[in-house]
Amino acid sequence: MSGTIPGPDGRPRCPWGLSTEDYVAYHDTEWGRPVHGDDALYERLCLEAFQSGLSWITILRRRDGFRRAFADFEIAAVAEFTDADKERLLGDTGIIRNRLKIEATVANAQALAGWAPGELDALIWSYAPDAATRPAPRTLADVPAVTDESTALSKALKKRGLRFIGPTTAYALMQACGLVDDHLADCVARGGA
């Protein structure tokens, strides 16, 4: 699929954002909108890591379960999780029960707990490319999976002790959190519309 297609209201949208009602809402109101705040960015980082190897709709539909399981992604709270908490999470059917991803989520909170307030936000946003240098994608083929910025962001986060954040996951984070606007050029949601 390429180019925008009309949504249920007749307005043009990115094709991926029309497959389910959940996607329409996420596409129109969240994806590509700027996200700030350490806890909010930690949540998106964790969800993108859990999505690795799965479809995003699987994560989106379990987001409330993830929030319950991981203390609303409050870094300080998750940093206090114990081995018993990790075992509890492995039995939680409201989330993806992947040991490596659960352990990375807790380890990342423990690493971030030592950062100054706002430091995660500042670090992630320091890798946002200049929007003026990025032409709006016309088709899905114009949307990259990895960029120089996402590779650099991944390296910076790993250097600071974070896990499960490769360049592709870092780029998905950048898209989801509005560091880049990869809504297609004719999409009704481009530019936060």
Q: Residues 31, 42, 43, 48: which is the catalytic one?
A: 48
Which CATH number goes with the domain that contains 136? 1.10.340.30
Strand partners, 6: 12
> What pLDDT does residue 186 have?
94
pLDDT confidence of 109, banded at 50, 70, 90? very high
Q: Residues 26, 74, 103, 115: which is the catalytic one?
A: 26
For residues 47 and 36, is the Cβ–Cβ distance under 8 A?
no
Q: What is the mean pLDDT of residues 156-173?
A: 97
Structural domain boundaries enclosing 163: 38-177
Report yes or no on 3 lying in a domain: no
Query: What pTM value is reported for the model?
Result: 0.95
Binding residues for Zn(2+): 14, 27, 183, 187
Report yes or no on 148 lying in a domain: yes
Q: How large a percentage of the chain has pLDDT more than 70?
A: 98
Among 116, 178, 167, residue whose Cα is nearest residue 144: 167
Report yes or no on 152 lying in a domain: yes
Report yes or no on 107 lying in a domain: yes
Number of structural domains in the chain: 1
Distances (CA, A) of 86 to 54, 103, 119, 154: 21, 7, 26, 25
pLDDT tens track for 12-66: 999 999 989 999 999 999 999 999 999 999 999 999 999 999 999 999 999 999 9
